[in-house]
C-alpha cells in the first residue's frame, strides 16, 4: 500500500526490482501518478533490472584521465557528463515511460545528427534537434514538444531541454561512452 512520500522507484527498490518492471506489472503508465492508499503488486518472479544489452553493468564504470563519458541515471532522471571523474555538465532529463522503457547498459554514441525526423508507435516528430544515437534507435536529443523534465515521458530516448542537448551535442564525440543505470 502506497504511503505518503513513497515513489514507484522506492517501492520497487525494496523488492530488488526496477520501477519499470513494477509499473509494467501494475499497468501504470505514469510512475508519478501513484497516491497514498493505492495498492501496488510486486511480480512474484522477482525479475531484477532487465538486462536489455549484454554489456549491462550493475555498477557504474569510473573512468580515469580525460575519457569523455555520459552517465544517465533513470531513477534520478539526470544526465551527467564527465571527463574522467570530473563532472562537466549535469542536466535533468525525461527517459522512457514504463510501456517504452529506456535501455540499461553501457554503450557508445554511434552517430550525431543536428536535426532528424523521428516516428514510432503513435508519434511523428520532424526536426528533432541535437540527436546522438547510442543503441539502435535509442538516443539523447533535444525536445520541443514538452517541458515536463524530471518525469519519464519518452518512447525510450533521453529527452533534454534543447539548449542542454546542444551543450552535450557540442561536447560529446562519436564514440563517447554512455552508461544508463536504473
- Reported as a single tens digit per residue, the pLDDT across 66-110 is 999 999 999 899 999 999 989 999 999 999 998 899 988 889 999
Local confidence band at 122 (pLDDT 50, 70, 90 cut-offs): confident
Q: Quote the pLDDT of residue 49.
A: 43
Above 90 in pLDDT, residue 26? Answer: no
Local confidence band at 59 (pLDDT 50, 70, 90 cut-offs): low
Above 50 in pLDDT, residue 13? Answer: yes
Between 163 and 6, the higher pLDDT residue: 163
pTM: 0.70
Q: Quote the pLDDT of residue 106.
A: 87
- CA 68 – CA 13 distance, rounded (Å): 30
The model's pLDDT over 33-56, given as tens digits with 9 standing for 90+, comes to 889 999 988 877 655 444 444 444
Q: What SS3 class is residue 167?
A: helix
- CA 104 – CA 55 distance, rounded (Å): 9
Local confidence band at 61 (pLDDT 50, 70, 90 cut-offs): confident
- CA 23 – CA 149 distance, rounded (Å): 19
Residues 84, 101, 105, 22, CA torsion sign: positive
- CA 88 – CA 171 distance, rounded (Å): 9
Local confidence band at 161 (pLDDT 50, 70, 90 cut-offs): very high
pLDDT > 70: what percent of the chain?
90
**Rounded mean pLDDT, 143-160:** 96
Amino acid at each position: 500500500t502506497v504511503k505518503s512520500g513513497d515513489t514507484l522507484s522506492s517501492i520497487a527498490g525494496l523488492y530488488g526490482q526496477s520501477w519499470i518492471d513494477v509499473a509494467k506489472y501494475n499497468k501504470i503508465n505514469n510512475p508519478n501518478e501513484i497516491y497514498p492508499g493505492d495498492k501496488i503488486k510486486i511480480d512474484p518472479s522477482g525479475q531484477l533490472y532487465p538486462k536489455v544489452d549484454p554489456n549491462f553493468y550493475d555498477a557504474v564504470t569510473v573512468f580515469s584521465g580525460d575519457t569523455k563519458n555520459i552517465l544517465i541515471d533513470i531513477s534520478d532522471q539526470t544526465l551527467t557528463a564527465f571527463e574522467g571523474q570530473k563532472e562537466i555538465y549535469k542536466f535533468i532529463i525525461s527517459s522512457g515511460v514504463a510501456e517504452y522503457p529506456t535501455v540499461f547498459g553501457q554503450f557508445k554514441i554511434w552517430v550525431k545528427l543536428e536535426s532528424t525526423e523521428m516516428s514510432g508507435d503513435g508519434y511523428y516528430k520532424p526536426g528533432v534537434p541535437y540527436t546522438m544515437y547510442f543503441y539502435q534507435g535509442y538516443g539523447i536529443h533535444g525536445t520541443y514538444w514538452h517541458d515536463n523534465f524530471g518525469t519519464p515521458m519518452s518512447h525510450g530516448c533521453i529527452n533534454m531541454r534543447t539548449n542542454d542537448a546542444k551543450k552535450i551535442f557540442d561536447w560529446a564525440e562519436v564514440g563517447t561512452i554512455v552508461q544508463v543505470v536504473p
